Amino acid sequence: MLVALFVAMVAPFVIAFIAHGISRSRYVLFVREDGPLEWATVFFCVFAAIGFANTARRRRGLARLFPILLSLFCVFFAGEEISWGQRIFHLQPPTYFLVANAQQELNVHNLFREVLRTKYLLIALAALWAIALPLIARIGSTKLKALRERLGIDSPSLAHVPAALVLIGVVLWYPFTQTGEVAESTFALMLLFGAKAQSLARSGAERSAEQAVRDKQYPVLAFVIFLSTVLAITVAAIRPASDHEDVERSQDELRAIAATWRSIDNASDCGLHRRVYAWAQEEGVSLPRLEDTDATRAEYGLDPWNNAYWIRHRCSRGRERVVIYSFGADGRRDSTPRRVMGDDIGIAFTP
């Protein structure tokens, strides 16, 4: 049964490798922001938070502390994944986030990318919770065991150890783009297995994940994963309607940004693909503001839905092509390096 647990926890990696091997474009759709994988991560974290909270509810005193902290962490994890609803509700991040956040998003984990990359934080969490804790639980002293029980520090299953080792290895290897997104989904699934196994344990002495499975509670875990997957696919398929006025406004703003690009000699190097604000900062130019454009949006290169405008400069076979584009109302990148697609709004020109 531990083998089945291990295989289930590393399933996101298996699916990602298969998808990447079959079609890179399909893989990109699978792992992109606000795509099926990201929403699966969110729902895994939500149900994990409920599981840890249920464990805390059945306890008393300090024994509630650790599951409460894990539940709050899962809520934080889910919120960070979707930037606390920024793209869903078209929220404009505070100025601090527009300047300091590497992706101009309303989240914390991208504020410190120059100091601590997210992948190293994920490696540390996996090593401490999913490797060190299960091993300590099985080889630790009696006093250490008593302290863990007093603080309610439950150990994940032994299946978490090889799953965490695979996660760490793949993250360090980073075989293809957006590997970090796949690793985050894997870790969220590991949290879900740990949380639901504990919350489903029968009253009395707390049982480990393996014991919960032996008690034939695994089907409940399987149902939660199935439900999370269905919800993720459903939510990822939802496409908000584009307001005609916002689309026109975006097109006008894109033309103005293109005029700024043309006004600069050697404005960028071939291969450039960056947010417009980051490009403008690098070039030392001010972004244009149209008469009816919000001042903050204009200054920080945001589209009418408060997502960043992007610029791509491609050179191929002696030809140059610049594309400046918006993700559109759904806040997702639908375009490929060659074409503006989906509800993305773009303007293409030759320098």
Q: Where are the domains of the chain?
A: 2-237, 244-349
Please tell me the CATH code under which domain 244-349 is placed. 3.30.700
Q: Looking at residue 136, what is its pLDDT?
A: 87
Beta strands in the chain (DSSP E): 273-275, 310-316, 319-326, 345-349
DSSP conformational letter for 302: B
Which residue do the tokens 């309303």 mark?
Answer: 106
Contact predicate 258/324, CB 8 Å: yes
Q: Tell me the mean pLDDT per 10 residues along the chain, length 351.
A: 85 94 89 93 96 90 92 97 92 93 89 75 94 86 80 86 96 92 96 78 45 60 92 92 91 95 74 92 91 91 96 85 93 86 91 77
Q: Would you state the structure tokens that stand for residue 185, as one six-digit string?
A: 């989904």
Contact predicate 95/110, CB 8 Å: no
DSSP structure string for 242-269:
PPHHHHHHHHHHHHHHHHHHHTSTT-S-
